[in-house]
């Protein structure tokens, strides 16, 4: 059999076949394009229905996020996907993104729904980053927002006249002093609250300074958050919770998840969630800096999980250091907990110096048993994040 010259152009008999394949591909692509257009049209149709839902929720002050409804919907769509011969995880991912967008759209519109639209709100420390953040949200919801910052104390009586909410948004170490200072100027029915990351001491200070409704708030998000959709706001009751309920309802209307807890329990949990975690992240970044590690070079060799971990370290050092110093060293209890954490690291020094693998394995097994089923949950969640990171990079 004679070998065909690779430089020889295709014979005339081959050209129609090639053109035929291209035409078939083009026809199939046109069919896919038509389906894609239908999908976009259906999403637009769905959005129209979402807007009707929003109108109803705004009328009756119904929260944006309905966990049971969303999980039922996801379960039904997964089953539908299985029946259609599709990967249920693929279907779930699509619908979680659709539902997320739906909530964001609802939250954006609900942000304009004021539970007490027209009421006067005083933001103490309103020129700070979180003060400015809440200024925007309250203003867009139709509230009359007033600012009291350092230079405004001579006008405190005028600013406090007829206010229905006074929110303290100042550094942790001066929150109690500010509460004591503002309390005597507030109307008896005014709700007094703070948004610091510790709750027991500020709550007690507010209760002592003001005889009206008092509630502690801790928004578990920062001023760069674009939406309050599914953002957690911790509520620590102080006095007259029913008198504070409209404020809690306002955060629900904005899409937040409300977590009510005792101030003492809040502070104990947040010592781990914030203090130890942030300090451990700081220490790792400090070690990399002192060793002058070439970060960009390590990323060339990195696994997705290392990139994710390093991303969290870099995120810390991209933010305001004073904010983290306030959080980490907010109380004597937190400093004591840090000492316990550092002592626990020191206890491992002997194991590391001896290269004691048996001790490491024994400790690993003990800790693994203690984590229990959460380890499997953590594996699933981190795998999902890693897959998303791979898609991006």
Residue 267: pLDDT above 90?
yes
- d(C-alpha 269, C-alpha 263), whole Å: 10
Q: Which residue has the higher pLDDT, 238 or 10?
A: 238
| 374: confidence class by pLDDT, cuts 50, 70, 90 | very high
Does some domain include residue 4?
no
Q: Which residue has the higher pLDDT, 229 or 273?
A: 273
Contact by Cβ (8 Å): 78, 92: yes
Does some domain include residue 12?
no
Q: What is the structure's pLDDT at 76? A: 92
**Average pLDDT estimate for 97-119:** 81
Token pair for residue 231? 């953002």
Task: Give first-to-last CA distance, the chain, whole Å.
Answer: 49
181 and 66 fall within a common domain: no
Contact by Cβ (8 Å): 178, 204: no
**Average pLDDT estimate for 255-282:** 94
Residue 205: pLDDT above 90?
yes
- d(C-alpha 146, C-alpha 126), whole Å: 8
Contact by Cβ (8 Å): 217, 135: no
Q: Per residue in 341-350, pLDDT tens?
A: 999 999 899 8
Among 246, 261, 276, the domain-final residue is 261
Residue 305: pLDDT above 80?
yes
148 and 46 fall within a common domain: no
93 and 157 fall within a common domain: no
Q: How many domains does the chain have?
A: 3
CATH classification of the domain holding 31: 1.20.59.10
224 and 295 fall within a common domain: no
Does some domain include residue 51?
yes
**Average pLDDT estimate for 246-270:** 93
Q: Which residue has the higher pLDDT, 300 or 123?
A: 123
Residue 160: pLDDT above 80?
yes
Q: What is the structure's pLDDT at 33? A: 94
243 and 313 fall within a common domain: no
Q: Is the pTM of this model over 0.85?
A: no
**Average pLDDT estimate for 270-295:** 94
| 1: confidence class by pLDDT, cuts 50, 70, 90 | very low
212 and 271 fall within a common domain: no
Q: What is the structure's pLDDT at 392? A: 67
Mean pLDDT, all residues of the chain:
90
Q: Per residue in 69-97, pLDDT tens?
A: 888 899 999 999 999 999 998 899 899 88
Residue 232: pLDDT above 90?
yes
Query: Tokens 């979402």 map to which residue?
Result: 50
Does some domain include residue 57?
yes
252 and 127 fall within a common domain: yes
Among 92, 110, 128, the domain-final residue is 110
Closest CA to 133 of 295, 251, 310: 251
CATH classification of the domain holding 198: 3.40.50.720
Q: Per residue in 6-36, pLDDT tens?
A: 555 555 445 557 888 888 899 999 999 999 9
272 and 139 fall within a common domain: no
Q: Which domain holds residue 376?
A: 266-392
309 and 384 fall within a common domain: yes
Does some domain include residue 5?
no
Q: How far is CA 362 from CA 211, 293, 357, 369, in A?
A: 56, 32, 9, 11
Q: Per residue in 307-330, pLDDT tens?
A: 889 999 999 999 889 889 988 998
247 and 284 fall within a common domain: no
257 and 152 fall within a common domain: yes
- d(C-alpha 330, C-alpha 336), whole Å: 11
Q: Per residue in 36-68, pLDDT tens?
A: 999 999 999 999 998 888 888 877 777 777 778
237 and 179 fall within a common domain: yes
Q: What is the structure's pLDDT at 141? A: 92
3-state secondary structure the chain: CCCCCCCCCCCCCHHHHHHHHHHHHHHHHHHHHHHHHHHHHHHHHHHHHHHHHHHHHHHHCCCCCCHHHHHHHHHHHHHHHHHCCCCHHHHHHHHHHHHHHHHHHHHHHHCCCCCCCCCEEEEECCCCHHHHHHHHHHHHCCCEEEEECHHHHHHHHHHHCCEEEEEECCCHHHHHHHHHHHHHHCCCCCEEEECCCCCHHHHHHHHHHCCCCEEEEEECCCCCCCCCCCCEEEEEEEECHHHHHHHHHHHHHCCCEEEECCHHHHHHHHHHHHHHHHHHHHHHHHHHHHCCCCHHHHHHCCCHHHHHHHHHHHHHHCCCHHHHHHHHCCCHHHHHHHHHHHHHHHCCHHHHHHCCHHHHHHHHHHHHHHHCCHHHHHHHHHHHHHHHHHHHC
Among 261, 282, 309, the domain-final residue is 261
- d(C-alpha 64, C-alpha 66), whole Å: 7
Residue 357: pLDDT above 60?
yes
């Amino acid at each position: 059999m004679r070998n065909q010259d690779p430089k020889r152009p295709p014979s005339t008999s081959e050209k129609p076949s090639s053109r035929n394949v291209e035409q078939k591909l083009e026809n199939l692509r046109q069919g896919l394009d038509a389906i894609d257009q239908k999908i976009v049209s259906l999403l637009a149709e769905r959005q129209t229905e979402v807007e009707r839902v929003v109108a109803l929720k705004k009328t009756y002050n119904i929260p944006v996020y309905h966990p049971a409804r969303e999980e039922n919907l996801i379960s039904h769509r997964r089953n539908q996907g299985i029946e259609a011969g599709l990967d249920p995880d693929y279907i779930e991912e699509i619908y979680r993104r659709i539902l997320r967008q739906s909530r964001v759209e609802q939250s954006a519109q609900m942000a304009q729904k004021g539970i007490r639209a027209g009421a006067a709100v005083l933001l103490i420390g309103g020129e700070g980053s979180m003060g400015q953040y809440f200024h925007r949200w309250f203003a867009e919801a139709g509230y009359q927002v007033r600012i009291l910052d350092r230079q405004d104390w001579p006008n405190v009586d005028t600013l406090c006249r007829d206010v229905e909410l006074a929110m303290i948004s100042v550094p942790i170490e001066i929150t109690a002093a500010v509460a004591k200072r503002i309390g005597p100027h507030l109307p008896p029915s005014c709700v007094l609250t703070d948004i610091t990351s510790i709750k027991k001491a500020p709550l007690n200070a507010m209760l002592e300074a003001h005889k009206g409704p008092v509630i502690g708030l801790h928004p578990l998000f920062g001023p760069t958050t674009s939406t309050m959709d599914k953002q957690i706001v911790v509520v620590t009751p102080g006095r007259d919770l029913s008198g504070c309920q409209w404020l809690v309802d306002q955060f629900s209307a904005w899409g937040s998840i409300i977590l009510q807890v005792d101030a003492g329990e809040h502070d104990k949990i947040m010592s781990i969630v914030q203090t130890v975690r942030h300090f451990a992240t700081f220490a790792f970044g400090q070690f990399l800096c002192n060793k002058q590690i070439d970060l960009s070079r390590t990323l060339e060799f990195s696994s997705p999980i290392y990139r994710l971990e390093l991303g969290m370290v870099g995120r810390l050092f991209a933010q305001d250091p004073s904010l983290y110093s306030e959080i980490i060293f907010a109380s004597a209890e937190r400093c004591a907990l840090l000492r316990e954490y550092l002592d626990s690291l020191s206890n491992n020094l002997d194991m590391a110096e001896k290269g004691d693998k048996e001790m490491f394995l024994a400790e690993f097994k003990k800790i693994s048993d203690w984590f229990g089923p959460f380890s499997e949950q953590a594996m699933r969640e981190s795998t999902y994040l890693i897959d998303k990171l791979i898609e991006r990079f």
